[in-house]
Amino acid sequence: MAREARLLVLIWVALMLLLTSTVAVTYSPLGPLKPFFNLAIAAAKAGLILWVFMHLREQPGLNRVAALAAGAWLAILVTMTLVDLGTRGWVT
Amino acid sequence: MAEYVTLAEQFAQPRQQREADFMGMYVFLGTETMLFGGLLALVYAYRVIHPQASAEAARHLKIWIATANTAVLLTSSLAVAFAVLAARHGKRRIVVAGLIVAMLLGMTFLGLKGWEYLQDFQEGLAPGIGTPSPLRAGPAALFFDLYFVATTLHAVHLTVGLGLMLWAALVVARRRVRLPGQAIVIEMTGLYWHFVDIVWVFVFPIFYLARG
Protein backbone atom coordinates (compact mmCIF):
# COMPACT_ATOMS: atom_id res chain seq x y z
CA MET A 1 0.00 0.00 0.00
CA ALA A 2 2.86 2.41 0.82
CA ARG A 3 4.24 2.19 -2.71
CA GLU A 4 0.87 2.92 -4.28
CA ALA A 5 0.30 5.80 -1.86
CA ARG A 6 3.68 7.27 -2.81
CA LEU A 7 2.72 7.16 -6.48
CA LEU A 8 -0.51 9.05 -5.74
CA VAL A 9 1.40 11.76 -3.90
CA LEU A 10 3.94 11.99 -6.73
CA ILE A 11 1.12 12.50 -9.24
CA TRP A 12 -0.33 15.24 -7.04
CA VAL A 13 3.09 16.97 -6.87
CA ALA A 14 3.35 16.75 -10.67
CA LEU A 15 -0.15 18.23 -11.03
CA MET A 16 0.76 21.14 -8.75
CA LEU A 17 3.96 21.79 -10.72
CA LEU A 18 1.95 21.78 -13.95
CA LEU A 19 -0.54 24.23 -12.42
CA THR A 20 2.34 26.53 -11.44
CA SER A 21 3.86 26.29 -14.91
CA THR A 22 0.59 27.05 -16.72
CA VAL A 23 0.13 30.22 -14.63
CA ALA A 24 3.79 31.10 -15.25
CA VAL A 25 3.24 30.70 -19.00
CA THR A 26 0.34 33.16 -18.78
CA TYR A 27 2.62 35.87 -17.35
CA SER A 28 5.51 35.03 -19.68
CA PRO A 29 6.41 36.86 -22.91
CA LEU A 30 5.40 33.89 -25.09
CA GLY A 31 2.67 35.92 -26.80
CA PRO A 32 0.48 33.99 -29.23
CA LEU A 33 2.04 30.66 -28.18
CA LYS A 34 0.49 30.90 -24.72
CA PRO A 35 -2.84 29.17 -25.52
CA PHE A 36 -0.96 26.20 -27.00
CA PHE A 37 1.21 25.82 -23.90
CA ASN A 38 -1.82 26.23 -21.63
CA LEU A 39 -3.78 23.59 -23.54
CA ALA A 40 -0.81 21.19 -23.67
CA ILE A 41 -0.33 21.53 -19.91
CA ALA A 42 -4.06 20.94 -19.32
CA ALA A 43 -3.84 17.81 -21.49
CA ALA A 44 -0.82 16.62 -19.51
CA LYS A 45 -2.72 17.13 -16.24
CA ALA A 46 -5.77 15.29 -17.61
CA GLY A 47 -3.48 12.49 -18.79
CA LEU A 48 -1.96 12.03 -15.33
CA ILE A 49 -5.39 12.06 -13.69
CA LEU A 50 -6.80 9.59 -16.21
CA TRP A 51 -3.83 7.24 -16.15
CA VAL A 52 -3.35 6.97 -12.39
CA PHE A 53 -6.30 8.47 -10.46
CA MET A 54 -8.90 7.13 -12.91
CA HIS A 55 -7.18 3.73 -13.11
CA LEU A 56 -6.59 3.56 -16.87
CA ARG A 57 -3.19 2.01 -16.21
CA GLU A 58 -4.92 -1.04 -14.68
CA GLN A 59 -7.53 -1.41 -17.41
CA PRO A 60 -7.61 -3.74 -20.42
CA GLY A 61 -7.21 -2.07 -23.81
CA LEU A 62 -10.91 -2.08 -24.60
CA ASN A 63 -11.72 -0.02 -21.50
CA ARG A 64 -8.92 2.43 -22.29
CA VAL A 65 -10.38 2.96 -25.75
CA ALA A 66 -13.87 3.41 -24.23
CA ALA A 67 -12.53 6.01 -21.80
CA LEU A 68 -10.51 7.98 -24.37
CA ALA A 69 -12.85 7.77 -27.39
CA ALA A 70 -14.87 10.88 -26.52
CA GLY A 71 -11.68 12.86 -25.93
CA ALA A 72 -10.28 11.74 -29.29
CA TRP A 73 -13.39 12.89 -31.17
CA LEU A 74 -13.35 16.12 -29.23
CA ALA A 75 -9.73 16.73 -30.26
CA ILE A 76 -10.82 16.34 -33.91
CA LEU A 77 -13.73 18.74 -33.36
CA VAL A 78 -11.53 21.41 -31.76
CA THR A 79 -8.69 21.01 -34.29
CA MET A 80 -10.95 21.24 -37.33
CA THR A 81 -12.87 24.20 -35.89
CA LEU A 82 -9.68 26.13 -35.18
CA VAL A 83 -8.14 25.24 -38.56
CA ASP A 84 -11.33 26.48 -40.23
CA LEU A 85 -11.41 29.77 -38.30
CA GLY A 86 -7.67 30.28 -38.57
CA THR A 87 -7.51 29.90 -42.35
CA ARG A 88 -10.68 31.69 -43.47
CA GLY A 89 -8.79 34.89 -44.15
CA TRP A 90 -6.51 33.07 -46.65
CA VAL A 91 -9.26 32.96 -49.27
CA THR A 92 -10.12 36.39 -50.58
CA MET B 1 -10.81 -8.86 -3.22
CA ALA B 2 -13.24 -11.60 -4.21
CA GLU B 3 -14.97 -11.85 -0.85
CA TYR B 4 -18.36 -10.11 -0.50
CA VAL B 5 -18.66 -9.60 -4.26
CA THR B 6 -22.23 -10.01 -5.44
CA LEU B 7 -22.04 -11.34 -8.96
CA ALA B 8 -24.87 -10.40 -11.34
CA GLU B 9 -26.12 -13.40 -13.30
CA GLN B 10 -24.86 -12.19 -16.68
CA PHE B 11 -21.24 -12.38 -15.51
CA ALA B 12 -19.15 -15.53 -15.28
CA GLN B 13 -16.58 -14.15 -12.88
CA PRO B 14 -16.01 -11.09 -10.64
CA ARG B 15 -13.20 -9.74 -12.84
CA GLN B 16 -15.51 -9.63 -15.85
CA GLN B 17 -18.15 -7.76 -13.85
CA ARG B 18 -15.52 -5.32 -12.59
CA GLU B 19 -14.30 -4.52 -16.09
CA ALA B 20 -17.87 -4.02 -17.28
CA ASP B 21 -18.51 -1.65 -14.36
CA PHE B 22 -15.49 0.42 -15.30
CA MET B 23 -16.42 0.45 -18.98
CA GLY B 24 -19.95 1.61 -18.20
CA MET B 25 -18.64 4.48 -16.10
CA TYR B 26 -16.03 5.49 -18.71
CA VAL B 27 -18.71 5.56 -21.41
CA PHE B 28 -20.99 7.66 -19.21
CA LEU B 29 -18.12 10.07 -18.54
CA GLY B 30 -17.56 10.12 -22.32
CA THR B 31 -21.05 11.58 -22.76
CA GLU B 32 -20.16 14.19 -20.15
CA THR B 33 -16.96 14.91 -22.06
CA MET B 34 -19.03 15.68 -25.15
CA LEU B 35 -21.31 17.98 -23.12
CA PHE B 36 -18.48 20.05 -21.69
CA GLY B 37 -16.26 19.60 -24.75
CA GLY B 38 -18.78 21.16 -27.13
CA LEU B 39 -19.13 24.16 -24.84
CA LEU B 40 -15.38 24.62 -24.40
CA ALA B 41 -14.73 24.18 -28.15
CA LEU B 42 -17.19 27.02 -28.68
CA VAL B 43 -15.15 29.21 -26.32
CA TYR B 44 -11.97 28.50 -28.30
CA ALA B 45 -13.78 29.45 -31.51
CA TYR B 46 -15.02 32.65 -29.88
CA ARG B 47 -11.51 33.47 -28.70
CA VAL B 48 -10.22 33.11 -32.26
CA ILE B 49 -13.01 35.28 -33.69
CA HIS B 50 -12.77 37.98 -30.97
CA PRO B 51 -9.21 37.81 -29.61
CA GLN B 52 -9.03 41.33 -28.13
CA ALA B 53 -12.48 41.30 -26.52
CA SER B 54 -11.91 37.82 -25.05
CA ALA B 55 -8.52 38.78 -23.61
CA GLU B 56 -9.97 41.99 -22.19
CA ALA B 57 -12.84 40.03 -20.60
CA ALA B 58 -10.48 37.36 -19.25
CA ARG B 59 -8.38 40.05 -17.54
CA HIS B 60 -11.50 40.86 -15.45
CA LEU B 61 -11.80 37.30 -14.18
CA LYS B 62 -10.27 36.54 -10.79
CA ILE B 63 -7.26 34.49 -11.84
CA TRP B 64 -5.86 34.04 -8.31
CA ILE B 65 -9.12 32.70 -6.88
CA ALA B 66 -9.32 30.30 -9.83
CA THR B 67 -5.68 29.23 -9.35
CA ALA B 68 -6.33 28.54 -5.67
CA ASN B 69 -9.47 26.66 -6.63
CA THR B 70 -7.54 24.51 -9.12
CA ALA B 71 -5.10 23.57 -6.35
CA VAL B 72 -8.05 22.83 -4.04
CA LEU B 73 -9.68 20.51 -6.58
CA LEU B 74 -6.43 18.72 -7.46
CA THR B 75 -5.85 18.12 -3.76
CA SER B 76 -9.40 16.82 -3.30
CA SER B 77 -8.69 14.37 -6.11
CA LEU B 78 -5.67 13.13 -4.16
CA ALA B 79 -7.90 12.61 -1.10
CA VAL B 80 -10.38 10.60 -3.20
CA ALA B 81 -7.53 8.57 -4.73
CA PHE B 82 -6.41 7.71 -1.19
CA ALA B 83 -10.00 6.73 -0.28
CA VAL B 84 -10.09 4.36 -3.28
CA LEU B 85 -6.70 2.87 -2.38
CA ALA B 86 -7.88 2.36 1.21
CA ALA B 87 -11.15 0.81 -0.03
CA ARG B 88 -9.17 -1.74 -2.03
CA HIS B 89 -7.29 -2.67 1.13
CA GLY B 90 -10.43 -2.80 3.28
CA LYS B 91 -9.42 0.17 5.45
CA ARG B 92 -12.87 1.54 6.25
CA ARG B 93 -11.83 4.47 8.43
CA ILE B 94 -9.33 5.82 5.91
CA VAL B 95 -12.00 5.59 3.19
CA VAL B 96 -14.42 7.70 5.24
CA ALA B 97 -11.66 10.15 6.23
CA GLY B 98 -10.51 10.54 2.61
CA LEU B 99 -14.06 11.19 1.42
CA ILE B 100 -14.67 13.74 4.19
CA VAL B 101 -11.46 15.62 3.34
CA ALA B 102 -12.46 15.60 -0.34
CA MET B 103 -15.94 16.89 0.52
CA LEU B 104 -14.51 19.70 2.67
CA LEU B 105 -12.21 20.70 -0.20
CA GLY B 106 -15.13 20.51 -2.63
CA MET B 107 -17.13 22.85 -0.40
CA THR B 108 -14.11 25.16 -0.14
CA PHE B 109 -14.10 25.29 -3.94
CA LEU B 110 -17.80 26.21 -4.03
CA GLY B 111 -17.27 28.83 -1.32
CA LEU B 112 -14.42 30.48 -3.23
CA LYS B 113 -16.42 30.28 -6.46
CA GLY B 114 -19.38 31.95 -4.76
CA TRP B 115 -17.15 34.73 -3.46
CA GLU B 116 -15.77 35.15 -6.97
CA TYR B 117 -19.27 35.28 -8.50
CA LEU B 118 -20.20 37.95 -5.95
CA GLN B 119 -17.32 40.13 -7.15
CA ASP B 120 -18.31 39.46 -10.77
CA PHE B 121 -21.88 40.53 -9.98
CA GLN B 122 -20.71 43.70 -8.22
CA GLU B 123 -18.60 44.60 -11.24
CA GLY B 124 -21.65 44.12 -13.48
CA LEU B 125 -20.11 41.32 -15.53
CA ALA B 126 -23.11 38.98 -15.28
CA PRO B 127 -26.14 39.39 -17.56
CA GLY B 128 -29.04 41.15 -15.85
CA ILE B 129 -27.39 41.56 -12.44
CA GLY B 130 -26.44 44.99 -11.05
CA THR B 131 -25.26 47.95 -13.08
CA PRO B 132 -23.82 46.53 -16.32
CA SER B 133 -20.10 47.02 -16.81
CA PRO B 134 -19.11 48.84 -20.05
CA LEU B 135 -17.72 45.46 -21.21
CA ARG B 136 -21.25 44.08 -21.41
CA ALA B 137 -21.89 46.33 -24.41
CA GLY B 138 -19.44 44.67 -26.81
CA PRO B 139 -18.36 41.14 -27.80
CA ALA B 140 -16.84 40.61 -24.32
CA ALA B 141 -20.41 40.11 -23.05
CA LEU B 142 -20.73 36.70 -24.73
CA PHE B 143 -17.36 35.62 -23.33
CA PHE B 144 -18.70 36.39 -19.83
CA ASP B 145 -21.96 34.55 -20.60
CA LEU B 146 -20.02 31.47 -21.69
CA TYR B 147 -17.90 31.76 -18.56
CA PHE B 148 -20.99 31.82 -16.35
CA VAL B 149 -22.63 28.91 -18.20
CA ALA B 150 -19.51 26.73 -18.11
CA THR B 151 -18.56 27.43 -14.50
CA THR B 152 -22.16 27.00 -13.29
CA LEU B 153 -22.51 23.72 -15.19
CA HIS B 154 -19.25 22.61 -13.60
CA ALA B 155 -20.46 23.68 -10.14
CA VAL B 156 -23.65 21.64 -10.63
CA HIS B 157 -21.55 18.58 -11.46
CA LEU B 158 -19.34 19.25 -8.48
CA THR B 159 -22.42 19.42 -6.23
CA VAL B 160 -23.60 16.07 -7.60
CA GLY B 161 -20.12 14.72 -6.82
CA LEU B 162 -20.39 16.02 -3.24
CA GLY B 163 -23.72 14.21 -2.87
CA LEU B 164 -22.22 10.99 -4.23
CA MET B 165 -19.30 11.18 -1.80
CA LEU B 166 -21.60 11.90 1.14
CA TRP B 167 -23.66 8.82 0.22
CA ALA B 168 -20.53 6.70 -0.27
CA ALA B 169 -19.08 7.83 3.08
CA LEU B 170 -22.36 6.97 4.83
CA VAL B 171 -22.76 3.48 3.34
CA VAL B 172 -19.13 2.66 4.12
CA ALA B 173 -19.36 4.02 7.68
CA ARG B 174 -22.56 2.02 8.29
CA ARG B 175 -21.01 -1.11 6.74
CA ARG B 176 -23.76 -1.32 4.14
CA VAL B 177 -20.91 -1.56 1.66
CA ARG B 178 -18.36 -4.13 2.66
CA LEU B 179 -14.73 -3.63 1.80
CA PRO B 180 -12.65 -4.64 -0.02
CA GLY B 181 -15.18 -6.77 -1.96
CA GLN B 182 -17.46 -3.86 -2.80
CA ALA B 183 -14.71 -1.29 -3.32
CA ILE B 184 -16.27 -0.71 -6.74
CA VAL B 185 -18.72 1.72 -5.04
CA ILE B 186 -15.83 3.95 -3.97
CA GLU B 187 -14.00 3.46 -7.26
CA MET B 188 -16.99 4.66 -9.33
CA THR B 189 -17.61 7.62 -7.01
CA GLY B 190 -13.92 8.45 -7.40
CA LEU B 191 -14.08 8.29 -11.20
CA TYR B 192 -16.90 10.86 -11.22
CA TRP B 193 -15.01 13.19 -8.90
CA HIS B 194 -11.80 12.97 -10.93
CA PHE B 195 -13.81 13.71 -14.06
CA VAL B 196 -15.19 16.90 -12.46
CA ASP B 197 -11.57 17.77 -11.67
CA ILE B 198 -10.49 17.23 -15.29
CA VAL B 199 -13.30 19.50 -16.53
CA TRP B 200 -11.96 22.27 -14.28
CA VAL B 201 -8.42 21.58 -15.50
CA PHE B 202 -9.66 22.70 -18.95
CA VAL B 203 -12.09 25.42 -17.81
CA PHE B 204 -9.22 27.13 -15.97
CA PRO B 205 -6.92 27.87 -18.96
CA ILE B 206 -9.74 28.35 -21.47
CA PHE B 207 -11.34 31.20 -19.51
CA TYR B 208 -8.98 32.50 -16.85
CA LEU B 209 -5.71 32.22 -18.78
CA ALA B 210 -7.14 33.78 -21.96
CA ARG B 211 -5.64 37.12 -20.96
CA GLY B 212 -3.60 37.40 -24.14
Set of chain B residues whose Cβ sits within 8 Å of the Cβ of A42: 201-202, 204-205
Q: Tell me the pTM.
A: 0.95
Residue B5 pLDDT level (bands cut at 50, 70, 90): confident
Predicted-complex ipTM score: 0.95
Residue of B nearest to A25 (CA): B209
Residue B3 pLDDT level (bands cut at 50, 70, 90): low
- In order, the DSSP letters of chain B are --TTPPPPTT-SSHHHHHHHHHHHHHHHHHHHHHHHHHHHHHHHHHHHHSHHHHHHHHTTS-HHHHHHHHHHHHHHHHHHHHHHHHHHTT-HHHHHHHHHHHHHHHHHHHHHHHHHHHHHHHTT-STTSSSPPGGGGSTHHHHHHHHHHHHHHHHHHHHHHHHHHHHHHHHHHTTSS-TTTTTHHHHHHHHHHHHHHHHHHHHIIIIIT---
Express each pLDDT in B52-85 by its tens digit: 999 999 999 999 999 999 999 999 999 999 999 9
Express each pLDDT in A24-36 by its tens digit: 999 999 989 999 9
pLDDT cut 70: percent of chain B above it:
98
**Record: contact B71-A71, CB cut-off 8 A:** no
> How close, in Å, is residue A29 to chain B by CA atoms?
10
**Record: contact B81-A50, CB cut-off 8 A:** no
**Record: contact A85-B41, CB cut-off 8 A:** no
* Among B191, B98, B89, residue whose Cα is nearest residue A56: B191
B108, B155 Cβ separation under 8 angstroms: no
Instruction: Please state, rounded to an integer, the average pLDDT across all residues of chain B.
Output: 95
**Record: contact A16-B74, CB cut-off 8 A:** yes
Query: At residue B4, does pLDDT exceed 90?
Result: no
Express each pLDDT in B165-211 by its tens digit: 999 999 999 999 989 999 999 999 999 999 999 999 999 999 999 99
**Record: contact A50-B198, CB cut-off 8 A:** yes
